[in-house]
Amino acid sequence: MAYSLNSKIRNLKPYDPIQGTYRIRLDANESFRQPPKEILSKISDVVAKIEYNRYPDPYAEELCHAFADFYQIDPVNVMAGNGSDELISIINEAFLMKGESVMTLSPDFSMYRFYCGIGETKCFEYQKKDDYSVDIDELIRMVNDYKIRMLIFSNPCNPTSKGIKRDDIRRLVQSVDALVVLDEAYMDFWNQSMLCEAENYDNLIILKTCSKAIGMAGIRLGFAIANQTLIRTLKAVKSPYNVNIVSQKIGTLLLREEKWINSCIQELVASKNALYDKLKRVESNNMNRMTVYNSATNFIFIKISDGEKVFENLMKQGIAVRCFGNYLRITAGTLEENEDFITAFETALQ
């Protein structure tokens, strides 16, 4: 007798983020800000009153209300998840049957493809242009020609940090029969969100996360926003208590700290702009070695020859960034961290 793993999981490896201790972490697009003392003490008060022995609200209604209020949308169009990663998984399970076709864009967030493998769906890939733009008409044609059931992509994009304008997104959603899953993880840093009009479409789900602009990666909160039929379906297929009570309480509190969140977004954008300027200066001295791309997010994407060597060298200097072959993705840190990174980066280039 012998048990053997099935073929779809046999060769999978556990997710392996950069671990270990680094002086500076610019690898995961997290916020560099921690809530101030006043807010931390409100959190302590809330945490002290939690009924740990009770199951949480399965629909996290208070939390969804706080989220909806912050973005000025209707809470009936919102569902909470244990990070948006969980929501991607639930959407794959719910809206796709085995063998149906999914389309992802390339390059894009790697998790989209991962769930296709697990779900035994067929995954097609739209290759972006050399400048990482998307030809929307071509994409529409492909989605329809391949009878795609679900199209999923990030806007603005992780890792390219490039965005697609709202008019193009609208045209795309209106021109396909596929479900469009629009991951707006970084839209707090840009101004082309579709959030306020999600309810008008029967084939659009928008994903938001609290892990980036809002600075709560540690408590795992993501949201799906869609019309009521889609939201009701998502609620029906998720596991009952997917968002734990601690995250519900703390998330509700933080999402009601509107001033604080807005100041975070401003500061992250300012840091990104400063990092961009510094990298552009390095680029001007290394014209044939690197390209710095415009950014609609809180990170900068660069192309660099010997990317992996530069990456290894930065690690040795105690600085973690993300490396994709000859490309690096650098999260904007505090102004000091950015300075420090640039010095280390110039050393690594030598």
- Give min distance, CB of 246 to ligand PLP, in A: 16
If the CB atoms of residues 222 and 251 are measured against ligand PLP, the closer one turns out to be 222
Q: Please say which residue, 88 or 344, places its beta carbon nearer to ligand PLP.
A: 88
Residue 309: CB minimum distance to ligand PLP, A: 26
Q: CB 158 → ligand PLP: shortest distance, Å?
A: 4
Least Å distance between CB 297 and ligand PLP?
9
C-beta separation of 152 from 88 below 8 A: yes
Q: How far is the CB of 211 from ligand PLP (least distance, A)?
A: 3
Token pair listed for 213? 């602009």
The answer to whether residues 268 and 189 touch, using CB atoms and an 8 Å cutoff, is yes
| Least gap, CB of 91 to ligand PLP (angstroms) | 12
CB of 346 to ligand PLP, least distance (A): 27
Task: Give CA–CA dist 133/107, Å, rounded.
Answer: 10
Sheet with 299-304, side-by-side order of all strands: 290-292, 299-304, 327-331, 322-324
The residue among 222 and 333 lying less far from ligand PLP, judged by its C-beta, is: 222
**Most distant CA pair in the chain, distance:** 65
Q: Nearest to residue 136, comparing CAs of 104, 172, 178?
A: 172
State which residue, 85 or 337, has the beta carbon closest to ligand PLP. 85
CA distance 209 to 247: 13
Q: With beta carbons less than 8 A apart as the criterion, state whether 327 and 306 touch.
A: no
Residues facing residue 303 across a β-bridge: 291, 327
Q: Minimal distance in Å, beta carbon 291 to ligand PLP?
A: 21
Q: At what angle do helices 245-255 and 61-71 cross, to 10 degrees?
A: 20
Q: Which is nearer to ligand PLP, 271 or 340 (CB)?
A: 271
**Helices 307-316 and 335-349, packing angle to 10 deg:** 120
Q: Which is nearer to ligand PLP, 92 or 344 (CB)?
A: 92
Nearer to ligand PLP (CB atom), residue 172 or residue 243: 243
Cβ-proximal residues to 142 (8 Å cutoff; 6+ apart), any chain: 103, 124, 126, 148
| DSSP state letter for 2 | -
Could you tell me if 100 and 149 are in contact, meaning their C-beta atoms sit under 8 angstroms apart? yes
- C-alpha 334/C-alpha 329 separation (Å) is 16
Q: How far is the CB of 5 from ligand PLP (least distance, A)?
A: 26
Chain position whose Cβ is nearest to ligand PLP: 83
Residue closer to ligand PLP by CB (options 109, 311) is 109
Please give the DSSP secondary-structure letter assigned to residue 1: -
Binding site for ligand PLP (CB under 6 A): 29, 83-85, 109, 154, 158, 183, 185, 209, 211-212, 217, 222
What lies within 8 Å, CB to CB, of 312 at 6+ separation is none
Instruction: Give the C-alpha separation, 104 to 142, whole Å.
Output: 11
| Between 73 and 243, CB nearer to ligand PLP | 243
Mapping DSSP to helix (H, G, I), strand (E, B) and coil, where does residue 34 land?
coil
